Structures are given as structure tokens and as C-alpha cells.
Amino acid sequence: MFHTTGGSVTCEAAIFDCDGLLLDTAVAWERAFHATAAELGFALTGAHLAALAGSSVDTGARRIAGWAGGAEQAGRARTTLRSVLSASLRAAPPPVLPGVTNLLGELHTRLPLAVASNAPADILADVLTGAGLLTAFSAVLSAEDAGRPKPAPDVYLAACRRLGAEPRRAVALEDSFAGATAAQEAGLSLVVATTDDWPGRTPLPWPRAGRPVLYVTGLAHDAVLGHILGAEAGERRHIA
């Protein structure tokens, strides 16, 4: 999968999601979701897990509690979800996904970079440090600290402020519908990296106001660097 909509982009900053984009944390999140549901006497299906993709701890806990028939148990669900997620990530540090290290190496001396994630701030810092990625970023922001979680735009707007970049001159890199929606609402251009078919099932209403989007199957795709750096990337490839 590789196509673009909406024309070219001029980037002054790049802002990355973390889970499922930089690091393969899917197993840890799924284990935490299942454990939380089991704590409430409920069993998740594949459809439930799909609906939880990209959720924050708070959003995931509230959804699971609602499915289990007791919204009043959201606090208990939140405690379990956060605890199991943290323990799972400590026990089995998540691997860096293909293309990430090379892309960050190309970008971090040219553009200010940030992470904008729904993950809790302490867990986010731990996994990025453990993966050796933290130093590539000028800022790391959790939606828990920035305001509402994705799909609200709060964490992307906060990241742009932290980097001193206008949203229309920043690009978001995402793998989930919730994250892509948040970036869109914040006014950023977008790279969607996913092997799932959700862009076809529930396509984003892009381009909005001329903001472009690139769809690829992963950050290792050659088109990603060119989409972000534009002519500069093309010149670099020609010289190389």
C-alpha cells in the first residue's frame, strides 16, 4: 500500500505516535486489555480489540467497564490496565519496528521531532529509553498530560507548541484511526503507516484545506522520507 492525496507538504517539524508505529507494543496492550476484562468477568472478542486500538489507558478502561456492564468499575479497570501494561512492557521490552531507526537518523538533525502518544507518560519514557530512541526527540508528550486523549487533537497541538511549529507546517506519523483523526483535527499533514485495511474501510476525509496524507505499509518505505523532506530528500538521494 502506497499512495498520496492532497499534494506536497512543507515540514518544519515531525511528530510521531509511539505504540504500533515506533515500537511493537501490541502484545503488551492486548495482554493488558484481556487482563482488565477478565478482572471484570468479561471476555474480549476480536471486534472489541479492534475498537480499543489506539486507546489511552483511561479510554480503554472506560470502554471495557462499559462492555462488562458496569461503568462504575472504570476506576478498577484503569488500575488493572495500567499495572498489567507496565509489567508486560518491563518483562518483554518491545522491539523497534522496521525503518524507525534509519528514519529518525535521517530526520533528527534536520527537523525538531516529538512523540505524541496516548500512552501514560512514565511508561512512554521507559519504553523509548529502553529502545534507545529517546534522545532523537526534542519533546515527548502523553495525552494524559496534554488534555483529552486521541482522537481529540490536544496532544498534537501541545507537541506543536512545544516544538514552536505551526500545525500546518508539521507532519504527524500515525498507525491508528484514532491517532490519524487527532492529527487531522489539529491541522497537521499526515503519514499513515499500517498493514491493516482501516484506511479503506473508514477513510479519512482528507485532504482538508490542502493538507496531504501519505499511506504506506511501514516507516521503512522509501516514500516516507521524501514526503517529509520534499525536494531536500530527492536531492540527497540523487547525490548518494
Based on DSSP, count helices (H) and strands (E) in the chain, helices before strands.
Answer: 12, 7
Catalytic residues: 17, 19
Q: Interior CA angle at 114 toward 5 and 196, to 5°? A: 45
Residue 23 DSSP label: B
Contact between residue 144 and residue 58 where contact means Cβ atoms under 8 Å apart: yes
Per DSSP, the residues of 117-146 read ESS-HHHHHHHHHHTT-GGG-SEEEEHHHH
CA–CA dist 23, 144 (Å, integer): 19
Q: What is d(CA 126, CA 101) in angstroms, rounded to the nearest whole number?
A: 17
For the purposes of burial, counting CB atoms within 10 Å of the CB of 69, is it exposed (0-12), middle (13-18) or buried (19 or more)? Answer: exposed
What does the alpha-carbon distance between residue 154 and residue 145 come to, in Å, rounded to a whole number? 10
